[in-house]
Amino acid sequence: MRDLYLDKKRDLTKLKSQSITLFPSKKMSSTVLTNCPLEANFCYYLEFDDAIERYESQPLGFYYQLDNIQCSFTPDFECFCGHRSVYYEIQSKAQAKKTIEFKRHFDSAQNQAIKLGKDLILVKEDWIKRSPHFQNLMQLYRCMQVQYSYDFLNRIKTKLKKDKVLTIGELIDEHIELPCIYKLIAEKILIFELSSTSLCLGSKVFWRKND
């Protein structure tokens, strides 16, 4: 089984590419080095996906066969969920134009990944940057460092237990600030559908169920 994998991982620190991007990961408690800004953008989704316990950029690659030739493939990410892991490959719009040859290689790599007991999933740029979901994730992530008190949490809970659903603007007062509300949404204490509309004072939120 070991012979199916490359001898070592790609070292992005040795690449002289201006596209190398740093992502400050809170889930990993470290800075994640990615091959390009689009891959760093995908990290927002990994950060907010509760099923993903940890993830790795440019994991150990593997070999696959195409036309009786041994080729190598390094996924952009490996995400660990419990006792299993999943590979992700990020495809930009420019890469998507190389459809035929890319698909042949990707399909072969995908089949080999399955033999290794892992899924290999292709994620396209349009999906990553879909609006307003992507913009909302970035907005929430910027507020993850915000601190709030137990009294603040109780004040929000009391308001929503009474009125069930309120706009963010209706929650704000002299004791409740917008960044703290965004932090509660990021922690899924306040529920807001990220794909519906852009976060704003008119966005409707409610307290999480069973709490």
Q: What is the mean pLDDT of residues 34-61?
A: 97
Say which residue the tokens 């979901």 belong to. 133
Higher pLDDT among residues 17 and 149, named by residue: 149
Other Cβ atoms closer than 10 A to 143: 17
Q: Between β-strands 204-207 and 165-167, what pairing exists: parallel, antiparallel or unpaired?
A: antiparallel
- For 169-197, the pLDDT digits (tens) are 999 987 888 999 999 999 999 999 999 99
Residue spans per domain, the chain: 2-128, 133-207
Residue 8 has pLDDT above 90, yes or no: yes
- Residue 191 near residue 208, CB atoms below 8 Å: yes
Q: Report the topology of domain 2-128.
A: Trna Endonuclease; Chain: A, domain 1 (3.40.1350)
Distance CA 2, CA 71 (A): 16
Average pLDDT over the chain, rounded to an integer: 93
SS3 string, 158-171, reads HHHHHHCEEEHHHH
Q: What is the pTM of this model?
A: 0.93
